[in-house]
Structure 1
Amino acid sequence: MRHTKSAAGGSRSARRAERRKTTSRRQRLLGLAALAVVTLLAAGLVARGGHGGDGGAQARTADTSRTSPSPEAVRTEARGRPSASPGASASAKAKPSTSPKASPEAPESPDPGPKSGTGLFTTASASGGLVGHGATVRRYTVQVEGGSGISANEAARQIERVLADPRGWTADGRDSFQLVGSGPHDFDVKIATPDTVDHLCGQAGLDTHGEVNCDVGSQVIVNLKRWLTGSPEFSGPVEEYRALIINHEVGHRIGHGHETCPAPGRPAPAMMQQIYGLKGCAPNAWPYDRNGTYLGGPSVP
């Protein structure tokens, strides 16, 4: 009998031990399952938060990058073209540099001068004789805006040389010009800062967008930036580009409209908008060649 009771007691002890092992396994499994659920929930929340933040920032960036095109200019070098400035076009096409070092051979950009001046003009006291043999005499003054850093008398002599050049408008046999420092005159050549050019040309409804020149009323208005830096499309010296400015705007005054390149390799007409590309022509500042041949091209409507 003692032997049977001992056996029964051993059986019960074994069953209790087995139940304890089973309970322990279940608790471990439940704990692992709960940990997995918490981990998955946390991962889902992080993923949703990151995507939403990036998308919102991208949408706001897209909204703030919108720009509106400016109106085109009329009776200026920019006629028929929108406001895209040579500086802005260069920025749009620029490629990232492959080296942090600047090239030692890179030429220095010419100083474009101040963006704004005083708005007041000094008239050059210089005067000159009649140039040309045409019956139509056009007298003009040269005026320079205060704060531009330009000498009115020096500018007047440069402009006088342009209009007196045998390749200029006097070669048409109809027009003559005379620089005067005072008294009756037909038009003024004004060299002004970009902001003042925009204001003066804007009064006539023209948009020079801080970059180009215009001819309005009795004024040929020259943008100081162009006078000092020329144009990236014109490979000649800046003095030649100044001649182009004067010949182009005075050409408007005496009745010429815009022209375009006659053929690749030919000289670009002085009445061409050369600041926006030469279309295969060679840069040229003069309406006539030294033989008195007009260097024109097809008219631009």
Structure 2
Amino acid sequence: MREQARARPATSVRRLRLQRAAAATAVAACLVANVWVVARASNESGASGALAAIGKVSTEVGLRSKGPAAPSAAKKPAPPRVVERGSGTLTPVTIPGDALTTADTGRPVRISIEAEGGLEVDPAEFATMVAQTLTDPRGWQQVDDVRFVAVSPEEIQGGAQVDLRIALASPDTTDRLCAPLQTRGQVSCHNGGRAVINLRRWQLGVAAYGSDLAAYRSYLVNHEVGHGLGHGHDYCGGPGQVAPVMMQQTYGLKGCTAWPWPAAKADTT
């Protein structure tokens, strides 16, 4: 009985030693494997390959890394704001002298440029653009043998005569100034010696001119001033032809190509 009791502890000790040896061997094998993977990656790809291999080993043992964040979608610029109702008061704007190149000859047409208050548009920029359009070589001065003469706000206040006023107005004020013509807050008009440019069209343009807002603005000015000079509406001559400036291009081109100038396109090339 004593011999059996002594034999059991010896057997347990040997078994324990064998288990510890096996565990140590397994740990050593894992370490050797990891070192071999890192060394191989270093030989193939340098330091970056080694880091990648370490990352791979870490992933295999359960660690996860987050991928790069998805790029944010590019934001489209917001369209210009259209003030539906301004102050209701039109104020004459000084026309920059270097913007109005008056013709040397032709029937004088005395003009004033006006802007309604509260439109969030720089009146001086509007006046400059209108003056440059009216005195462009492709404009009415050459086609109609006229010369536009600026009338200053001070002269108007003193009672000076004005033949034609060009005004930028909110959609609400445009409807009032154009009545009884039906502009419905959408389009511009000429009425009673005033070319009324609707702020909605000035800011947003139309599909016929696409992204070329500057060209459409020139069309707006030339079309409404054309009415002030006595011209009626014209029409598309056929598919592929150049649209005449007195065509209502805002409503569509009817197969013609957009053209904002009174002079024929062939005469400008």
* TM-score, length basis structure 2: 0.64
The structure 2 residue matched to 1:147, chosen from 102, 105, 118, is: 118
Q: Which amino acid aligns with 2:202?
A: W
Matching of residue 124 in structure 1 with residue 93 in structure 2: yes
Residues matched between the structures, number: 188
Change (3 A) 1:176 1:290: farther
Residue segments in structure 1 that go unaligned for 5+ positions in a row = 1-103, 294-301
Q: How does 1:72-221 map to 2 (within 5 A)?
A: 108=77, 110-128=79-97, 131-172=102-143, 174-182=145-153, 183=155, 184=160, 185-202=162-179, 205-221=180-196
Where 2:197 maps in the other structure, the secondary structure is strand
Change (3 A) 1:166 1:116: same
Where 1:172 maps in the other structure, the secondary structure is helix
Q: How does 1:31-42 map to 2 (within 5 A)?
A: none
Residue segments in structure 2 that go unaligned for 5+ positions in a row = 1-72
User: Match for residue 22 of structure 1?
Assistant: none
Q: Distance in 2 between matches of 1:130 and 1:106?
A: 41
1:123 CA drift (Å): 1.6
Q: Is the 8 A contact 2:143 2:262 kept in 1?
A: no
Where 1:250 maps in the other structure, the secondary structure is helix
Cα displacement string for residues 236-277 of structure 1 (whole angstroms, at most 9, x for unaligned residues): 511111100010001111111111111221211110111111
1:180 CA drift (Å): 2.6
Q: Which runs of 4+ in 1 moved over 6 A?
A: none
1:121 CA drift (Å): 2.1
Q: Distance in 2 between matches of 1:153 and 1:175?
A: 24
Where 1:248 maps in the other structure, the secondary structure is helix
Cα displacement string for residues 256-299 of structure 1 (whole angstroms, at most 9, x for unaligned residues): 11111112212111101111111111111111146647xxxxxx
Q: Which amino acid aligns with 2:249?
A: Q
Q: Distance in 2 between matches of 1:255 and 1:105?
A: 48
Identity of aligned residues (%): 36
1:234 CA drift (Å): 2.0
Q: Distance in 2 between matches of 1:267 and 1:112?
A: 31
Q: Which amino acid aligns with 1:239?
A: A
Over the residues paired in the alignment, what is the CA RMSD in angstroms? 2.1
Q: Which amino acid aligns with 2:103?
A: G
In terms of fraction of residues, the more helix-rich structure is: 2
Cα displacement string for residues 26-61 of structure 1 (whole angstroms, at most 9, x for unaligned residues): xxxxxxxxxxxxxxxxxxxxxxxxxxxxxxxxxxxx
Where 2:209 maps in the other structure, the secondary structure is coil
Change (3 A) 1:116 1:233: same
Q: Distance in 1 between matches of 2:238 and 2:75?
A: 32
Change (3 A) 1:173 1:273: closer
User: Match for residue 11 of structure 2?
Assistant: none
1:125 CA drift (Å): 2.1
Q: Which amino acid aligns with 1:150?
A: V
Change (3 A) 1:171 1:275: same
Q: Distance in 1 between matches of 2:192 and 2:144?
A: 24
Cα displacement string for residues 64-118 of structure 1 (whole angstroms, at most 9, x for unaligned residues): xxxxxxxxxxxxxxxxxxxxxxxxxxxxxxxxxxxxxxxx689556224110011
Q: Distance in 2 between matches of 1:176 and 1:286?
A: 16
The structure 2 residue matched to 1:283, chosen from 247, 258, 261, is: 258
Where 1:212 maps in the other structure, the secondary structure is coil
Change (3 A) 1:107 1:277: farther
Q: Is the 8 A contact 1:133 1:173 kept in 2?
A: no
* TM-score, length basis structure 1: 0.58
Where 1:233 maps in the other structure, the secondary structure is helix
